[in-house]
Amino acid sequence: MGKVIWITGAGSGIGKALALAYNENGNTIILSGRKKEQLEEVAALLSNSYVLPMDVADELAIAKAVSKVETKFDKVDILINNAGVSQRALVTETSNEVGRKLMEVNFFGSVHLTKAVLPLIQKGSTGNIVGMSSIVGKFGFPLRSYYAASKHALHGFYEALGLELKDTNINTTVVCPGRIKTDISKNALKGDGAAHAQIDPGQQNGVDVNVCARKIKRGIARNKSEIYVGGGEILFIYIKRYFPALFRFIAKRINPN
């Protein structure tokens, strides 16, 4: 029997690739994002989907969307909180307004949707809740101060939630992508809120997004608490953990783009 899988940020990038990866076995994919046209283009590639435009930074929109899903499907098996926005600006250049937007989308949007959907997941015997972090959710990095902070916060929230759900068959997973070939750097916010409007060289040469999606899907199926996907940059997670002084030495000298 197919599962009901809700993916935010599903119009492009990792979200779109995940929708395609889960397009099997009678699954129904709920596609959410701010751009309806993009979602409809993805839906046209799927066997069974439901387009549900939504801005995760809008709590009222979340409530309305969850109500629609409950009426139509009554449950959700997998929630993938993929919606997010990155940053390319120094701390001193980033306005407080932009900082708040990054936190609202990346952290509060994920948290508020998770809390609203949790009762629908609890209707089933098993379920998965996924938060999309980043390797900079494991360490700080230049030009990504608020972005890194928002991703760090996700780890604390989902670890706590996972422990609270320890006596159930609902599992939480935090995904930490490294450099994946998507438009995330192109859509990243500069300090004044304008789009970065260019793809970083590291992003351009990153892991294929469909390969990334398959690895994430496999990790979710295994109920992994954290999933790391990327190239050599994933080593920084372990260097920071075991050799923090070496990490700082390297990070001060690396190109942040």
Q: Rounded CA gap, 199 and 14, in Å?
A: 15
Q: How many CA atoms lie within 13 A of 170 on its CB side?
A: 24
- Please report how many Cα atoms fall inside a 13 Å half-sphere around the Cα of residue 128, on the Cβ side: 25
H or E element that contains 129: strand 127-132
Instruction: Report CA-CA distances (Å) from 61 to 55, 57, 172, 208.
Output: 7, 8, 24, 32
Annotation says 147 is catalytic: yes
Tokens 């604390």, residue located: 156
Beta-carbon contacts of residue 20 (< 8 Å; ≥ 6 apart):
42, 45, 46, 210, 213
CA separation for the pair 207, 229 (Å, rounded): 8
* The one catalytic residue among 22, 50, 147, 158: 147
Tell me phi and psi for residue 210, to 5 degrees: -75, -35
Q: Radius of gyration of the chain from Cα atoms?
A: 18
Which has the closest alpha carbon to 117: 240, 7, 229?
A: 7
Longest dimension (CA), the chain: 54
CA–CA dist 189, 144 (Å, integer): 10
Active site residues: 147
